[in-house]
Chains A and B, each alone.
Chain A
Amino acid sequence: MPGRGLNENLQPGPGSASQSDEFRALFERYHDAVFRQIALLLGRDSAAAEDVAQETWLRISRSLKTFEGRSGFYAWACSIASNEVKRWWGRNRRPVSLGPEPSEDPGEGRERNELVHEALRRMPEEFRQPLLLDLWEGMSVAEIGKALGLPEGTVKSRLYRAREKFRQLWQELQ
């Protein structure tokens, strides 16, 4: 879970070992959050999400030395994940149904989850990312600020607006 004292705006040194350590720390911290973001954007089964996650982390590991820390690491990782999702769609057909596979509850619960995912997909990423870090990953405002490279005040106002936006999209989808 988040909250470790990690330098997220890292500038890896020449030694591959330290870069490898940084990578492992970032991976441990953000793997689940990035995976869920991919699953949401992909709207397909978890096997497909896992394929995309593998490509995403491979790309991250290769590009880590070019990460300048201008945004937070999670925002950077999500932009790579988003590109990998697009590449995946380029190789595969568009989905017939929306939303990832159901977790436990079929029927009404599944439909509702699909609608929630659809509303989340329609949100601008600057609102979606802090909202999901809050509600899916349980991060604090300070942790979200660090993950996205934003001041806490901005995170708070974006969370507020994200909830407003979600409510509006939810009503449109009903």
Chain B
Amino acid sequence: MNDDFDNLIRNARPDVPAGARARVLEYVGAHGAVASAPAPWRVFLRAAALVLLAVFAGVAAALVARPAPAPALDPVAQLAAEVKALETQVAALERDSAAAQLVDLQAEVAALEAGRPDYGAALEQVVTAQLDARESREREEWRQRHIEHMRRHYAEEQEATVERLRRELNLSSEQEKAVRELLSETGKQAEELIGEVYTGRRHHRRDPRMHDRFAELANETEKKLAELLNEKQRGRMEGTGIVSAAPEDWAPRSEFRDETDLDVWTNWINVTRE
């Protein structure tokens, strides 16, 4: 039956038109992407352009830095400078006469401000508390959604794995039961690992240890599975993991349906990025 469907799908394979490969390469090359290395003459032109640019920059810098010619000593200009200095002194005297009043005013303002309640700090506290509460709610919602999705996906994956092992390794009923228990236990441990991300302050933050922890979980499961199998079965199983060691496989994207789910998935990818 499977072969019938396989042939059905094989026969529906779209053809790749002759020359398509070359046309794509040509298109990519024409748009200056990495498909082809730059030609030597183009490298030379680029280097020459850089040298010219450096020369122009040097000339421009020299022009800007050249000192202006010193002005000739002019008695009129000297007098104007002295007048300007006198004006500055007068302005300073005027300012100083008001300085004492200004100091008094500043002291009054300070006294008034000291007696005023700190609305800013109170507002900040309220806002912080609201943000914390919101984040906690969001964290809990995401945790529940993630685990719920993971459970559903994992249950299907687990069924398929057991079915495959039964078929490929001729599992006895006792072995099948033990394998089911093993996979359930692995699922629970994965749930715990995922749940931890949403507790404390690790939400949204990258945690590179997740890769090691899931790899450890996958290895452990494989070891335990090997203990459940006989020599012949073990030989046939060798080299094929039964649960994924990659954290991203524990947040199945296609299972997510709405925006909140997408948030959960994005967050998980963010937390587990390497």
Contact = CB atoms under 8 A, between A and B. Distances in A.
Interface of A: 16-17, 19-20, 23-24, 27, 31-32, 35-36, 39-40, 46, 49-50, 53-54, 57-58, 61-62, 64, 68, 70-71, 100, 103, 109, 112-113, 116-117, 120, 124-126, 131-132, 135-136, 141, 149-154, 156-158, 160-161, 163-164, 166-167, 170
Contacts of B249: 150, 154
A154 B9 contact: no
B254 A161 contact: no
Given A16-B38, A135-B6, A157-B157, A36 B14 contact: yes
B56 interface: no
Nearest to B161: A157
Contact of B218 (A32, A113, A151, A170): A151
A152 B31 contact: no
Contact of A17 (B14, B31, B37): B37
A48 B134 CA distance: 48
Interface residues of B, number: 50
State the majority secondary structure of interface residues on A.
helix
A162 B130 CA distance: 46
Given A50-B24, A53-B24, A157-B164, A135 B240 contact: no
B244 A61 contact: no
Given A27-B25, A36-B13, A136-B10, 16 more contacts: A20-B36, A20-B37, A23-B35, A35-B14, A50-B17, A54-B28, A68-B273, A70-B248, A100-B14, A109-B11, A117-B12, A125-B254, A135-B10, A141-B240, A151-B244, A161-B156
A170 B254 CA distance: 20
The residue in B14, B161, B273 that gathers the most chain A C-beta atoms within 10 A of its C-beta is B14
Nearest to A115: B12
A150 B249 CA distance: 8
Nearest to A136: B13
Q: Which 8 A-B pairs have the closest CB atoms?
A: A61-B33, A151-B241, A124-B254, A116-B12, A39-B14, A157-B160, A113-B12, A54-B27
Nearest to B254: A124
B5 interface: yes
Contacts of B239: 152
A105 to B, nearest CB: 9
Nearest to B27: A54
B268 to A, nearest CB: 12
Interface of B: 1-2, 5-6, 8-17, 20-21, 23-25, 27-28, 31, 33-38, 156-157, 160-161, 163-164, 218, 239-246, 248-249, 252-254, 273-274
B37 to A, nearest CB: 5
B246 A150 contact: yes
A58 B28 contact: yes
Given A20-B34, A113-B11, A160-B164, A153 B243 contact: yes
B274 A68 contact: yes
A147 to B, nearest CB: 14
Nearest to B26: A54
B160 A62 contact: no
A26 B31 CA distance: 18
Contact of A36 (B8, B16, B25, B245): B16
Contacts of A50: 17, 20, 23-24
Nearest to A123: B254
A133 to B, nearest CB: 12
B25 A112 contact: no
B244 A150 contact: yes
A71 B14 contact: no
A64 B252 CA distance: 25
A154 B242 CA distance: 6
Given A70-B274, A160-B163, A46 B15 contact: yes
Contacts of B35: 20, 23-24, 27, 61
